[in-house]
Amino acid sequence: MSQFSSAVLPQIGSFALLLALALGAYSFLVGVFALILGGKDSDYLGETARRAGIATFAAVLLASVVLVTAAFTDDFSVAYIFHHSNKDLPGPYKFAVLWSGQEGSLLFWSLLLATYGFVLRLRYRTDPKLFAHASVVIAAVQVFFLLILNFAAHPFAILEGSVPPDGSGLNPLLQYPEMVIHPPMLYLGYVGFTVPFAFAFGALIMKYPGEKWIHITRRWTMVTWGFLTIGIFLGAHWAYSVLGWGGYWGWDPVENASLMPWLVGTAFLHSVMMQEKRGMLKSWNMWLVFLSFWLAIWGTFLTRSGMISSVHAFAQSPIGMWFLVFIFISFIAFGVVYILNFRFLRSEHKLESMISRESSFLFNNLLFVTACFTVFWGTFFPKISEWLQGNKVTVGAPFYNNVAVPIALLLLLLTAVGPWLAWRRTSFESLKRSFKWPAAGALSIGLLMIILGVRPWNDIAYFYSLMAAMLAALVIFTVISEFVRGGQVIQRHTGFSLLGSMLHLYHRNTRRYGGYIVHYGVAIVIIGILGTPFNRDAEKEMGFGDKINIGPYTLVCQSYTQDDNPNFSNEWAIINVFKGNEQLTTMYPERRLYKASSQPQTIPRIWETWYQDLFLVKDLYIVYEGRNEDTGRPIIKAHLNPMVPWIWIGLVIMVFGTITCLVPNATPVRATVPARVQTAPAVGAGD
Amino acid sequence: MSLPKKSLLNRTAQCALVVFALFTFLGVGDDDARFRDLGHHLICACGCGQVLLECNHVGCQYSDRMRNELAAAIDRGDNDDLALQSFVQKYGPTVVAAPSTSGFGRVAWIMPFAALLAGMAGLVWLVRSWRSRPAPAIADGIQPVQGPELERYREQADKETDL
């Protein structure tokens, strides 16, 4: 650590944060003033507010760069660096120090918001007045985070006393490659919901005519949703790969906190189509956008207030009250503006039939919001019980499995049925005709599972698995059938090959068919999840040559070995995996002891059985748990988790679908066609 | 000698019932399955917040003991409620992984379904209010639309059908 670094870096960082606060406050206050004032002169004032917003980004970026530099230069005079880094921490994790602790992650939150604001303010020419309103809303949120950073959770606080020679080190749970990606993705999702909210709030204040604001924000919302999806799944993968309990989702409060805005955001992505196409659900969409933003702030509050204990949460701190105040103020502000202006949000059309795309979206929204409420309720019920009854209860997986899973199954059913429904009305006969083959396919899958030994009447978990498999199959068959039927219509008109026609179809409406690809990915994820009731595990103290049998596999302990590096010392087990007499692979589950923090950490090893099982793939998951304190013998725990790899494949498909939704549509070629052609199958049911 | 038709129907129904019962009770009484099931309804008391059978802390002061106690309860022939109740008495109410279905705990289970029902009711009200709105008045002698207005309708149709 150089003298310069120690003396100057924290001051530069502190100054940058103060400057950012001043600029953000200017952007907000002067922006509001300019909007209230109106007229030509206020345009100049508004322009200064816009530029101040851009400058805020530069100041927050400077503060972030300073903090990362302090981590790389081992400046332990900064308390945050001392608590979250050490000299021998590998480079990528030193970079990840930025979001590894309370203060740094708030700075990172602020940086991402400033970046979104920066892009938004650069693109203001699209609609200067609407963008000016959105810019002010973003500035308000920015000021809130900068206030916390400057006065409650300062990342550049100086360590009291003499500067220690080394830091306390990063939490071992965070020393995993995904930790360099997972939080930024999650935060991009959380923070990103501020942008559609800012536009919606701006449109509400302006009584903005038409649906243009929705067109402007559509891509922002899709991108945000995509980031949050990736963030949630990376978190699940991290939990699976690091925590060593063999699962990927534990209904932990902090996991739930990320799920809530995702559920509401997904509801919004569907219902917004009703507003675009039919001018309906305008008020509802306003509230969904607000709720997505609001729940993202709730999630941040949950993680940081210490209100609810979780493996993911930051330490308890006084900033919870700041968040509560902000949550309250934002709710009141939005509520008041809504009450003043809700009349302009009246629907332009009415529901013409219960068998229509509109009604499917209504039910879809009802289920998504109920699912969100269920998660919210389950997360807060322990606190509610404590407040009202004086005793805390646990709300864990059995509660969610019994309450949320049925809702999820209904949603899956709607995912399958929805694409067959046309806007306005669909005849029952047409629905039956379209649905016949996918339904027959799904029933066959169910029958096959029963023949293969799944007994849904023995256990509710098996029943859910069977239903999930059938409904996921229904979704997959529906999506394939939609592509094929639409492709066939194009093929008849153009003479292209079926594949070329399907590609053409996709290019004509990327959003709709991209959405179907997302549905396909969701179905694959569900297939990955439905293996859970069939998980097996075994645990044993294993000396050399000892065996564990799990499913068709035999694990034989060949040896143990040790290693050491400046960051941690570790011990590996060397486990040979056999099926019958054939050796399939060797696995090396590991246990580390991080030197700076003196904390142990297991690194499980996972082997996917693609070559053995293909579609019914399993994860062989081995954990070296450590040594029995009494006998000194190493303990190995093995899990055999069916279908889990499909979850990660499903995510890739979902991300691909989201990206394809963002591709602009190809210009449709108008052709004069005979009248009879217009009665072709309802491939054009809309988004 | 053939059975009367009614008797044949009864016999078929009885057979179906026996087959159903056979399948229903397959696996019931399997102690391992009960251990796994109950073990997933309990939280390890060590404070890790993990389900008892998933607690993976080496040297955990609680998980091994609790697993042994659970196995003993099953061996004793305690039913599920009794086994869980003994854990609640010993380790407190937070040891059970889900709220109870009696007393205040029942509220936890009811609320999501109450919310769903309330939402359904709201949806029905919304749809009825939409449908009860007067349809736009149609004047006599409608003239066919042409020019820009026709183009607007074409665009609307394109938007709604994507054809």
Please report residues of B whose CB lies closer than 8 A to that of A623.
56
Please report residues of B whose CB lies closer than 8 A to that of A378.
108
Q: CA nearest A176: which of A507, A553, A604?
A: A604
Confidence label for A549 from pLDDT (cuts 50, 70 and 90): very high
For B128, name the nearest residue in chain A, comparing CA atoms only. A351
Confidence label for B12 from pLDDT (cuts 50, 70 and 90): low
Distance from CA of B1 to the nearest CA of A (A): 35
* Cβ-contact A119, A138 below 8 angstroms: no
Does B56 contact A at CB distance below 8 Å?
A: yes
Q: By residue range, what is the domain housing residue A502?
A: 427-529
Distance from CA of B58 to the nearest CA of A (A): 6
Q: Based on the fold, state whether residues A216 and A343 are members of the same structural domain.
A: yes
Please report residues of A whose CB lies closer than 8 A to that of B45.
none
Share of chain A above pLDDT 70, in %: 94
Q: Which residues pair with A573 in a beta bridge?
A: A560
Mutating which of A285, A361, A430, A458 best tests the B interface, going by the most B Cβ atoms within 10 A? A458
Q: CA nearest A396: which of B52, B58, B82?
A: B52
Q: Based on the fold, state whether residues A245 and A381 are members of the same structural domain.
A: yes
Flag whether A632 is in a domain: yes
Please say if the pLDDT value at position A591 is more than 80. yes
Residue burial B87-110, b: 16+ Cβ < 10 Å; e: rest: beeebebbbbbbbbeeeebeebbe
Tell me the pLDDT of chain A averaged across its residues. 88
Please say if the pLDDT value at position B156 is more than 90. no
Q: Based on the fold, state whether residues A553 and A501 are members of the same structural domain.
A: no
Q: Based on the fold, state whether residues A295 and A386 are members of the same structural domain.
A: yes
Query: What's the CA angle centered on A323, arms A318 and A327, to 5 degrees?
Result: 155
Highest mean pLDDT pick, A26-30, B34-38, B78-82: A26-30
Q: Is A549 helix (H, G, I), strand (E, B) or coil?
A: strand
Please report residues of A whose CB lies closer than 8 A to that of B114.
none
Q: Based on the fold, state whether residues A337 and A438 are members of the same structural domain.
A: no
Say yes or no for a CB contact (<8 Å) between B58 and A629: yes
Q: Based on the fold, state whether residues A496 and A549 are members of the same structural domain.
A: no
Name the token pair of A668.
Answer: 């449709």
Q: Among A506-510, A603-607, A639-643, whose mean pLDDT is lowest? A: A506-510
List the single residue in A246, A370, A396 with the smallest CB-CB distance to B115.
A370
Q: Based on the fold, state whether residues A207 and A278 are members of the same structural domain.
A: yes
**Distance, CA of A2 to CA of B91 (rounded, Å):** 54
Confidence label for B146 from pLDDT (cuts 50, 70 and 90): low
Mutating which of B54, B61, B100 best tests the A interface, going by the most A Cβ atoms within 10 A? B54
Sign of CA dihedral A23, A154, A380, B54: positive
Flag whether A248 is in a domain: yes
**Which residues neighbour B69 within 8 Å (Cβ) at sequence distance 6 or greater?**
B86, B87, B90
Q: Based on the fold, state whether residues A511 and A538 are members of the same structural domain.
A: no
Name the token pair of B86.
Answer: 């003994």
Predicted pLDDT of residue A686: 41
This model of the complex carries an ipTM of: 0.81
Does B115 contact A at CB distance below 8 Å?
A: yes
Flag whether A674 is in a domain: no
Q: Based on the fold, state whether residues A167 and A230 are members of the same structural domain.
A: no
Q: CA nearest A1: which of A105, A91, A81?
A: A81
Residue A242 is given by DSSP the state I
Mean pLDDT value across residues A57-71: 96
Q: Which of residues 14-33 of B touch A (CB under 8 A)?
A: 20, 23-24, 26-28, 33
For B95, name the nearest residue in chain A, comparing CA atoms only. A394
Please identify, among A529, A547, A579, the residue that sits at the C-terminal boundary of a domain.
A529
- The amino acid occupying position A197 is F
Say yes or no for a CB contact (<8 Å) between A373 and B56: no
Highest mean pLDDT pick, A262-266, A676-680, A682-686, B61-65: A262-266
In chain A, how many domains are there? Answer: 4
Mutating which of A215, A352, A370, A542 best tests the B interface, going by the most B Cβ atoms within 10 A? A370
Mean pLDDT value across residues A60-74: 95
Q: In 10 A of CB A40, how many CB atoms? A: 6
Q: Based on the fold, state whether residues A146 and A71 are members of the same structural domain.
A: yes
Predicted pLDDT of residue A495: 82
Flag whether A509 is in a domain: yes
Q: Which residues pair with A352 in a beta bridge?
A: none
Say which residue the tokens 């010993």 belong to: B90
Please identify, among A502, A529, A556, the residue that sits at the C-terminal boundary of a domain.
A529
Predicted pLDDT of residue B133: 67
For B121, name the nearest residue in chain A, comparing CA atoms only. A366
Flag whether A653 is in a domain: no
Confidence label for B93 from pLDDT (cuts 50, 70 and 90): confident
Flag whether A301 is in a domain: yes
- The amino acid occupying position A528 is G
Predicted pLDDT of residue A391: 81
Does B142 contact A at CB distance below 8 Å?
A: no
Predicted pLDDT of residue A677: 40
* Cβ-contact A93, A72 below 8 angstroms: no
**Distance, CA of A478 to CA of A440 (rounded, Å):** 11
Predicted pLDDT of residue A360: 87
Q: Which of residues 143-162 of B touch A (CB under 8 A)?
A: 158-162
DSSP letters spanning chain B: -PPPHHHHHHHHHHHHHHHHHHHHHTTTT-HHHHHHHHHTSBB-TTTT--BGGG---TT-SSHHHHHHHHHHHHHHT--HHHHHHHHHHHH-GGGBSS--SSTTHHHHHHHHHHHHHHHHHHHHHHHHHHHHSPPPP--SSPPPP-HHHHHHHHHHHHHHH--
Flag whether A683 is in a domain: no
Model pTM?
0.86
The domain that holds A6 is classified in CATH as 1.20.120
Q: Based on the fold, state whether residues A23 and A123 are members of the same structural domain.
A: yes
Please report residues of A whose CB lies closer than 8 A to that of B59.
626, 629
Please identify, among A481, A503, A529, the residue that sits at the C-terminal boundary of a domain.
A529
Flag whether A319 is in a domain: yes
Per residue in A213-234, pLDDT tens? 888 888 889 999 999 999 999 9
**Distance, CA of A363 to CA of A411 (rounded, Å):** 9
- The amino acid occupying position B49 is G
Q: Based on the fold, state whether residues A402 and A494 are members of the same structural domain.
A: no
**Which residues neighbour A303 within 8 Å (Cβ) at sequence distance 6 or greater?**
A254, A257, A310, A312, A313, A314
* Cβ-contact A281, B126 below 8 angstroms: no
Say yes or no for a CB contact (<8 Å) between B99 and A393: yes
A to B CB pairs, distance under 8 Å:
153
